[in-house]
Amino acid sequence: PAFLSIGAWFDMETDPNRLKLEMVDEQINTTSKAFLGLSVACARCHDHKFDPIPTSDYYRLGGIFNSTRLVGDFSEYWRDGRVRQLRPLAMPAQVAANEVIRQQIAQKQNEWWTYLSARHVELMARWRGDESRYRAAAEQVKRPYVKLFEAEDFSGQTGLRIAQLMRDGKGVEVIETLLPRAQWVKYTINEVPETAKFRLEALYSAADRTPLTLTANATVATKDALAEPTGGADLKYQRWRTVGDFEMREGMNFLRLEAKEGNFPRVDRFRLYKLDRAVEQQIQTLAAAEHLQPALLANFVYDPADPWPQVAGVEPYLDEPQRATATAMTAEAEKLAEGIKPYDLAISVTDQAQPADMPVHSRGSTYAMRDEPNLRGVPRLLDGALPPPSIPQGHSGRLELAQWLVDPRNPLTARVMVNRIWHWHFGRGIVATTSDFGSRGEPPSHPELLDWLAAEFMSPSTPSSGSAWSIKRLQRLIVTSRTYRMSSRVDGATSKFDPENHLLSHFPRQRLDADELFDAMFSIRNIMPRQPAGQPLDVEKSKGRALYVLTSNRSPEGLGLEVRKMFSLFDYDSSGAPIAERPVSQTAAQSLFWMNSPLVRYYADKFAERLLKMDRLDDAKRVEQAYLIALGRPPTKAAAEGTLDYLAQCEADGMSAQLAWTKVCQALFGASEFRYVD
């Protein structure tokens, strides 16, 4: 199910209706190309120009995908609209037990909120009557430097967005999470009057605990700012809290708030003021003399335009018994939360609550739709080979689509899959256009071979050969064939009658892809673990592989930029769009990469360490081992002698053994045999 959810994400699209259409289009495009070898997405705006796919068929498929839920709730303000749908990897009984506890927690939180709301009403009734006294007392205090500013007035950010919300009939702008991973926001504070200690406070709301790191002028002030949830993310749960205290210098200063992951709290605005012991003492003295609440009087001093505490922030203003009651309610909810048994989550999809057909959108427009009904279903171009499935009411149609795709009567799915696997082994598919089996695609070079492989792929299994539709069984069939095991060397006669190798007269020489080149260097360090039979892959033991470097920024320390340079240089496509095959370029910059890249030197150094730890071997045996590990063959006599002569010269020049062997290993990395499959 994750196949539908891991595609491109449209983070900048703010229209929810258009976003849904873009997501559906991406799914149709990827699914049709991947399994049918057809570009059905071409029919979004008009009937397909070359293949028999009318626009109505596009929206028949669109109805299936539009009835499939990929993301969290499409909330009014898009807070959760880009979070991928997850499913628990747990037994239903455990999920149900956790849900019961969550309902109990929600009940306790409702009790806590009801109690705070009642106390807030009582306090506000009393405070409003004393407002003039508070303002008069505040006028007597020498007001320190105070700067009030909106959260959206930042000078830089990543992973956040400005959301426009409503509170009491008025529009309110806040900053909040755009993507629930690394997020930061920076503020430039100009014209600070003097070097002194300051306090930053924020008006925020948060449904969960996400600690923020506050940095002032590149100095960390706290790593646990605004971590305490307020009861929810809605504006009604807003409250003021101290972000941190820190030193600021006269003139220009920079503040930065960063969340490593999770949801950044919704922040409305900030107030920054100088910490002045004399002012604090004067507030306490006046509050005692006038029988006023000290914390509320401080609000009138620092922010006279908006001094009143919010419901979620009223606890510090309660008397001791009331505060104890509110704290006990919170403690009960936290105690209940300890009973929740965690389980892993996996990206998945599910049906929408109300699956529905998708009308044809005229010219692909978001809001211009035709009136005639268009039942969700599959493309009709294969109706002569197999009947279209019937989708029951209340079902998205994903199951019926999947069954239709793998029906033995479907002439495309097995052939497309077999052709892709052939392509990745030989560098060219039996059909060269691996994602286009339509009228504009290349005809198969060996149609009978394609048909036979597809039939073998779908055939019922035997106990010794594996299951039907088994990719592993098909791989074994291909790599044990004579065709695959031929040499890539070409004699003169062969090059004349089959110069393009369309007849598979020899094995096609292929360069490794960027991630394969990276993994080849990484694995040569001898840290790739042996995988026990039947055991799941331990990601932590192989987390340095390209797969995890690309998805989790796991790269050698200080070399992340070099990794990305390498991938760009060797034709890696980082767009996330589905591509039929990776391009293969040959440039001078690639040769220079093996000579000069810090990344190559890093792994060559690790390779050299491995060789030097073989302390029972002499240099001649180490050279042999180096060739066997890097190139899969022993060195020729001339290569071995030349390498030993080079090592001797390095020693005579005073070079360390580690550095000399690093240079040898780097030269092996630069050999064409290391980069190519022959």
CA distance 507 to 484: 6
Cα–Cα distance between 476 and 447 in angstroms, integer? 21
pLDDT reading at 96 higher than 70: yes
CB < 8 Å & 24+ apart, contacts of 306-310: 307/134, 308/124, 308/127, 309/120, 309/239, 309/240, 310/120, 310/203, 310/238, 310/239, 310/240
- Give the per-residue pLDDT at 536: 65
Predicted confidence (pLDDT) at residue 158 exceeds the cutoff of 60: yes
Parallel, antiparallel, or unpaired: how do β-strands 239-248 and 196-205 relate? antiparallel
**pLDDT tens per residue, range 209-234:** 899 999 999 999 999 999 999 988 89
Q: Report residue 575 as tokens.
A: 């767009």
The CA angle 385-391-392, to the nearest 5 degrees, is: 145
Q: Please say whether the beta carbons of 410 and 404 come within 8 A.
A: yes
Per-residue pLDDT tens over the stretch 79-89: 444 567 788 88
Taking the C-alpha atoms of residue 312 and residue 113, their distance in angstroms, rounded to an integer, is 8
Which residue, among 170, 281, 174, 179, has the nearest Cα to 226 in the 3D structure?
Answer: 174
pLDDT at 80: 43
Q: Identify the H or E element spanning 601.
A: helix 598-612
Q: Does residue 69 have a pLDDT over 90?
A: no
For tokens 């002012």, the residue is 279
CA distances (Å), 115 to each of 111, 300, 512, 521, in order?
6, 25, 66, 62
How far apart are the C-alpha atoms of 454 and 464, rounded to whole Å? 19
Report residue 557 as tokens: 């320390």
Residue 77 has pLDDT above 50, yes or no: no
User: What does the pLDDT read at residue 208?
Assistant: 87
Contact 186, 156 (CB under 8 A): yes
Q: Which two tokens stand for residue 669?
A: 């990395």
Residue scoring higher pLDDT (37 or 554): 37
Q: Looking at residue 538, what is its pLDDT?
A: 63
Closest by CA position to 606, among listed 517, 656, 666: 666
Q: What is the mean pLDDT of residues 36-65?
A: 93
Closest CA to 192 of 272, 257, 280: 272
- Gap between the Cα atoms of 308 and 296, Å rounded: 7
Residue 4 Cα distances to 34, 59, 347, 413, angstroms? 12, 17, 10, 17
Both structure tokens of 304? 């006279």
Q: Which is higher by pLDDT, 529 or 36?
A: 36
- CA gap 647, 635 in Å, rounded: 15
Bridge partner residues of 240 (DSSP): 203
Cα dihedral: 662, 664, 665, 669 (round 10) = 130
Between CA 216 and CA 521 the distance in angstroms is 41
Q: Residue 17's pLDDT is what?
A: 83
Q: What tokens does 625 get?
A: 């081992």
Q: Is 264 exposed, middle or buried (0-12, 13-18, 19+ CB in 10 A)?
A: buried
pLDDT 10s digits, 294-320 = 999 999 999 999 999 999 999 999 999
DSSP code, position 387: P
Which residue is associated with the tokens 């949801």? 263
Q: What is the mean pLDDT of the chain?
A: 89
* Alpha-carbon gap, residue 61 to 397, rounded angstroms: 9
pLDDT at residue 596, rounded to an integer? 94
Q: Of 344, 638, 487, 468, nearest to 646 (Cα)?
A: 638
Span 26-47, average pLDDT = 92
Q: pLDDT exceeding 70 applies to what percent of the chain?
A: 93
Percentage with pLDDT > 90 across the chain: 69
- How many CA atoms are closer than 13 Å to the CA of 283, on its beta-carbon side? 22
- The residue among 148, 216, 210 whose CA lies nearest residue 183 is 210
Confidence of residue 485 (pLDDT cuts 50, 70, 90): very high
Can you give the pLDDT at residue 79? 43
Overall pTM > 0.85: no
Question: Which of 256, 254, 147 has its CA nearest to residue 212?
Answer: 256
Q: For residue 245, give the DSSP letter.
A: E
pLDDT of 75 over the 50 cut = no
Give the per-residue pLDDT at 461. 64
- In sequence order, the β-bridge partners of residue 269 are 150, 203
- At 115-144, the pLDDT tens digits run 999 999 999 999 999 999 999 999 999 888
259-300 confidence digits (pLDDT tens): 988 889 999 999 999 999 999 999 999 999 999 999 999 999
The residue type at 46: H
